[in-house]
Structure 1
Amino acid sequence: MTWSADRFHDLFVEVIRSSGRWRDLDPEALLGRWDRFVADCEKGYPYDMEDYSNDRTSRSSIEVALNTPELQGYSGMVVFRTRVEIIDARFRPLLIPDVFTNIPEKKWWSRGLVRYARRKLVSEVWESFGIEIAEVE
């Protein structure tokens, strides 16, 4: 099945664009960005805190789609939701949960922090928050 096979694709893009996202608007692109971010985290996130924060926004946009009633009746949404759950299942164990308690619990991907990363992020997390995460090379 291709995402553009029905109205789902167009409606999905419309929903994500109206939420303020300006790139990676279609389901494949958005899932791809989330998957690449998680893959980077699995190896030890190689960039800085600004990039880390920015890359997590893909999951926030995904959450918008998952909670938009107009998208729920489409078979494409079932496929999308399943793929999100698979990627999320890879990401959750990488997190120290509840690091940022001022963020709502339902935004678990932003509330937690990766357990390990490359030197740049490790240093910035320590300097900014006084939180020690493991460094990988």
Structure 2
Amino acid sequence: MAVGADFLRRYEQAQIAAGRGGGDSALRHLTSWKRFVEACAEGYDDVISEYFEDLRVRDAIECGLAEKSLRELAGYEEFSRAVQAVDARFREIATVVGSG
């Protein structure tokens, strides 16, 4: 995935502004989100409190996606599409179909 340096820098700045600390890169967040969803697909085997903690990476991603100043930067659309693909997989495996 080709994501521009400006996008990566501004994404990290958005994370800092949101109080999430430094060093939070868009690519690291996307990788963590993918790994979490893969773990869920294989049968998440941790406690519920850890599950909710693991979901926090998606909240961080949303913080970046919601930052209006990022939307015009090179890589935003590609990053957004990659996140949407992982989200779709998560919804597929996390949706419980009712019996009635």
TM class by shorter chain equals: 0.7 to 0.9
- Percent of aligned pairs with the same residue? 28
Contact map agreement 1:37 1:55 (CA 8 A) in 2: yes
Contact between 2:7 and 2:75, CA under 8 Å: does it hold in 1? yes
Normalized per residue, the structure richer in strand is 1
Shift of 1:16: 1.3
Equivalent residue, structure 2, for 1:83: 82
Residue 18 of structure 1 corresponds to 17
Seen in structure 2, the aligned counterparts of structure 1 residues 22 and 81 have a Cα distance that, compared at 3 Å, is same
Q: Tell me which residue corresponds to 1:92.
A: 91
Equivalent residues in 2 for 1:4-83, closer than 5 Å: 5-22=4-21, 25-83=24-82
Structure 2 spans left out of the alignment, 5+ residues: none
Deviations 1:61-118 (A, max 9, x none): 111111110000012111110100110110002224xxxxxxxxxxxxxxxxxx5xxx
Where does structure 1 lack aligned partners over 5 or more consecutive residues? 97-114, 116-137
CA drift at 1:20: 2.5
Structure that is richer in helix per residue: 2
Runs of 4+ in 1 over 4 A off after TM superposition: none
**Distance across 2 between alignment mates of 1:17 and 1:45:** 30
Higher relative contact order (CA 8 A, sep 6+): 2
| Secondary structure at 2:14 match in 1 | helix
Query: Aligned residues, how many?
Result: 96
Cα root mean square deviation, aligned: 1.8
